[in-house]
A and B are shown apart, each in its own frame.
Chain A
């Protein structure tokens, strides 16, 4: 019996983007407000899980053809790369740098390399969560 879940699908199409944008907001807010890579990553993963609940594994895979194992590895590389960046300048490992930049629209903005480390954390969290859910959900 095929259920017609048009309400769920329509709502998901809207809600997915709201959750996704909120997760990006949480991720970017991390330095000065509660948030950061871990929560941001979990929220993004939860948006993807909502897609998985609404559609099936195959549709989501076609929609977002991401290899989450590679995503996790890229995240780890980003984190390790940021941490060792300072080593190339002869400073102690894990040193991070920041400066103020004048960006159009946003004005004076403080940019940190810690942000890239956080991006690594974000990728790893999204990747690991999705690997867990897909491998439990899939029946290969």
Chain B
């Protein structure tokens, strides 16, 4: 059972390979994808329990001793994020059955989704900085396929930008890893952490820390580096958008979290202050964007940027309260963003337009959709019993504890903007006179989109209401993040 922790990476990969044998057989593609994902979900849920009861799981490939082989480390942070990713992918696949279209399904859509999941899970679990790069490339390659698949004009234009930005940031990633390797002489993350502690973070390491912030900031879309995100996320179809919005930027956020809690912890006054300022500016930029547009997709897309800012604000505090908050909010945000994209996708499916001004009065024909959307919107904004509340509350509380009064108040104010932006969709889309809907026969099978979306919203509600059960896991995760020695001891077996 030493290799059990690898199953969330291997199973999607194996499924993707098997799917490549019969790309044109849609029944084969769908059933195999579902089987693979359901088994993966079971394994990752079991993995949470294993990590919770018996501590961090580590396997080093080929039985090499730790700093010399590639380690895979399943700590609570990684396992929680992996489970969330797998669950979201599962629902996205169910949602795709109706919405993605036969042509795309025949052209390696499901292998693309599964390979992206492989990359995402690998990036969450790896304990080796260059292996992190490789898994980043795995997920990016798959995301290139998903963003261009279908070949609409808009997709072609936007995926060019997307690929260009990511190629540049990947090149910068390699350069930064090379720089780090030339200073510490190791690639194993636990070993890097120990070596940096030994030399007590000289200026060059701080420089590398900022370079990592630029690299991962490009992936995670933080303030000056988010420019590529709104247009390139708006191009692909809704299920792909939901996957991107829920998973891709969060891998960047995770990488910042990991490097800024494991490596660069000896000059917090400089590195984490920059992270703090950038996260506040990210929230500002996201708020402006979310209020600026009447395109339903774009409103939610700008909310991704806001959430990235909020999570990184929590990370920048480096205290117990806000780290738990950041972990809680990260998982919440992945789930709720996927759910919101699903719901917005249903609205687009019913009305045939993305423009909010052209929608209206859907409450009359689709009341259940309206209430589901309202719950999801309140969850996003952080209305108390729902899932957005506890995370943000802990983040802000941590901010006050660390004496960042004004920026914490700013986080609270941003919640109002978030609420305003999503409620605008509700008011324009569901209230008022009933405006145009597409022809009835085109609305057939609406429930096949509605069910996965509703289940996902129900999961977020449970995640908020059941905070009492979830907190111990979050506490484990924050514990690993705040005490690098827990991580390094588990990997290096000292």
Q: In the complex, A87→B59 CA distance in Å?
A: 11
Give every chain B residue within 8 A of A96 (Cβ-Cβ): 62
Q: How far is the CA of A69 from the CA of B14 in the complex (A)?
A: 15
- Complexed CA–CA distance, A5 and B61 (Å): 53
With an 8 A cutoff between CB atoms, is A59 at the interface?
Answer: no
Q: Name B5's closest neighbour in chain A (CB-CB).
A: A93
CA distance A86 to B69 in the complex (A): 16
Whether B20 and A72, one on each chain, are in contact in the complex, defined by CB atoms closer than 8 angstroms, is: yes
Q: What residues of A have a CB within 8 angstroms of the CB of B18 in the complex?
A: 73
Asked if B6 and A93 sit within 8 Å, CB to CB, the answer is yes
Q: Once bound together, how far apart are the Cα atoms of A77 and B15, in whole Å? A: 10
**Helix, strand, loop or mixed for chain A's interface?**
helix
Please measure, in the bound complex, the distance between the C-alpha atom of A49 and the C-alpha atom of B25, giving whole angstroms. Answer: 30
Residue numbers of B with Cβ under 8 A of A are 1-3, 6, 10, 13-14, 17-18, 20-21, 23, 59-63, 70, 72
Q: Please determine whether B13 and A80 come into contact, CB atoms closer than 8 angstroms.
A: yes
Q: Which residues from 55 to 96 on chain A have a C-beta closer than 8 Å to any C-beta of chain B?
A: 69-70, 72-73, 76-77, 80, 84, 86-87, 90-96
Among A70, A76, A84, A92, point to the contact of B62 (Cβ < 8 A).
Answer: A92
Chain A residues lying within 8 Å of B60, measured Cβ to Cβ, are 92
Question: Are B10 and A73 touching (Cβ within 8 A)?
Answer: no
- Closest residue of B by beta carbon distance from A127: B20
Please give the distance in Å from A107's CB to the nearest CB on chain B.
28
Which residues from B are CB-within-8-Å of A87? 3, 6
Across-interface contacts of B61 in A (CB, < 8 A): 92-95
Total contacts A-B at CB 8 Å = 45
Identify the A interface with B (CB < 8 A): 69-70, 72-73, 76-77, 80, 84, 86-87, 90-96
Tell me which residues across on chain A come within 8 A of B21, comparing CB atoms.
70, 73
Q: Indicate if the CB atoms of A69 and B6 lie closer than 8 Å.
A: no
Supposing A80-B10, A80-B14 touch, asked if A92 and B20 sit within 8 A by C-beta, the answer is no
Q: Which residues of A contact B63 (CB under 8 A)?
A: 91-92, 95
A65 CA to B1 CA, complexed, in Å:
42
Cα–Cα, bound, A133→B3 (Å): 38
Q: Specify which chain A residues have a CB less than 8 angstroms from the CB of B10 in the assembled complex.
A: 80, 84
- State A90–B14 Cα separation when bound (angstroms): 19
Beyond A80-B13, A87-B3, is A94–B62 a contact (Cβ under 8 Å)? yes
Other contacts beyond A72-B20, A95-B61: 14, CB < 8 A: A70-B20, A73-B17, A80-B10, A80-B13, A80-B14, A87-B6, A90-B2, A92-B61, A92-B62, A92-B63, A93-B62, A94-B62, A95-B62, A96-B62
Task: Tell me whether B3 and A76 are in contact (CB under 8 A).
Answer: no
Inside 8 A of B6's CB, which chain A residues have their CB? 87, 93
* Distance of A91 Cα from B62 Cα, bound (Å): 8
In the complex, what's the smallest C-beta–C-beta distance from B476 to chain A, in angstroms?
24
Q: How far is the CA of A95 from the CA of B23 in the complex (A)?
A: 32
Q: For the complex, give the distance between the alpha carbons of A87 and B9 in Å.
A: 14
Tell me the bound Cα distance from A38 to B162 in angstroms: 28
Nearest opposing residue in chain A for B4, CB measure: A87
Determine the distance from Cα of A84 to Cα of B13 in the docked complex, in whole angstroms.
12
Most buried by B among A69, A72, A80, A93: A93
Chain B CB within 10 Å, residue with most, of A84, A91, A94: A94
Question: Whose C-beta in chain B lies nearest to the C-beta of A70?
Answer: B21
Please list 30 pairs of residues, one from A and one from B, whose beta carbons are closer than 8 Å in the complex, sorted by A's number.
A69-B20, A69-B23, A70-B20, A72-B20, A73-B21, A76-B17, A77-B17, A80-B10, A80-B13, A80-B17, A84-B3, A84-B10, A86-B62, A87-B6, A90-B2, A91-B2, A91-B63, A92-B2, A92-B59, A92-B60, A92-B61, A92-B62, A93-B3, A93-B59, A93-B61, A94-B62, A95-B61, A95-B62, A95-B63, A96-B62
A-B pairs, top 4 by smallest CB distance, nearest first, are A94-B61, A73-B20, A87-B3, A76-B17
Instruction: Give Cα A94–Cα B72 distance, bound, in whole angstroms.
Output: 12
Q: In the complex, A86→B3 CA distance in Å?
A: 10
A35 vs chain B, min Cβ distance (A): 21
Kindly state the separation between the CA atoms of A59 and B50 in the bound complex, as whole angstroms. 57
CA of A87 to CA of B72 in the docked complex: distance in angstroms?
14
Cβ-closest chain B residue relative to A88: B3
Q: Which residues of A contact B2 (CB under 8 A)?
A: 90-92
- Nearest B residue to A67 via CB reads B21
Complex Cα distance, B72 from A16, in Å, reads 43
In whole angstroms, what is the CA distance A73 to B17 when docked? 6
Residues from chain A with a CB closer than 8 A to the CB of B62 are: 86, 92-96
Shortest C-beta distance, B462 to chain A (Å), equals 34
Closest chain-B Cβ to A140's Cβ sits at a distance in Å of: 13
User: Which residues of chain A are near B17, meaning CB under 8 Å?
Assistant: 73, 76-77, 80
B10 to chain A, nearest CB (A): 7
Q: How far is the CA of A96 from the CA of B61 in the complex (A)?
A: 10
A87–B11 CA distance with the chains assembled, in angstroms:
14
Q: Using CB atoms, name the residue of chain A closest to B59.
A: A92
Distance of B273 from chain A, by nearest CB (Å): 41
Query: With a CB–CB cut-off of 8 A, which chain B residues contact A76?
Result: 17, 20
**Cβ distance A64 to chain B, nearest Cβ, rounded Å:** 19
Chain A positions within 8 Å of B72 at CB level: 93
Residue of B nearest to A114 (CB): B62
Which B-chain residue is minimally distant from A92 (CB atoms)?
B63
Taking CB atoms, residues of chain B closer than 8 Å to A86 are: 62
A92-B3 in contact given A69-B20, A72-B20, A73-B21 (Cβ < 8 Å): yes
Q: How far is the CA of A61 from the CA of B60 in the complex (A)?
A: 44
CA distance A123 to B297 in the complex (A): 42
**Min CB distance, A67 to chain B, in Å?**
9
**Which B residues are CB-close (under 8 A) to A72?**
20
From residue B63, how far is it (CB to closest CB) to chain A in Å? 5
Query: Which residues of chain B are within 8 angstroms of A94 by Cβ–Cβ distance?
Result: 61-62, 70
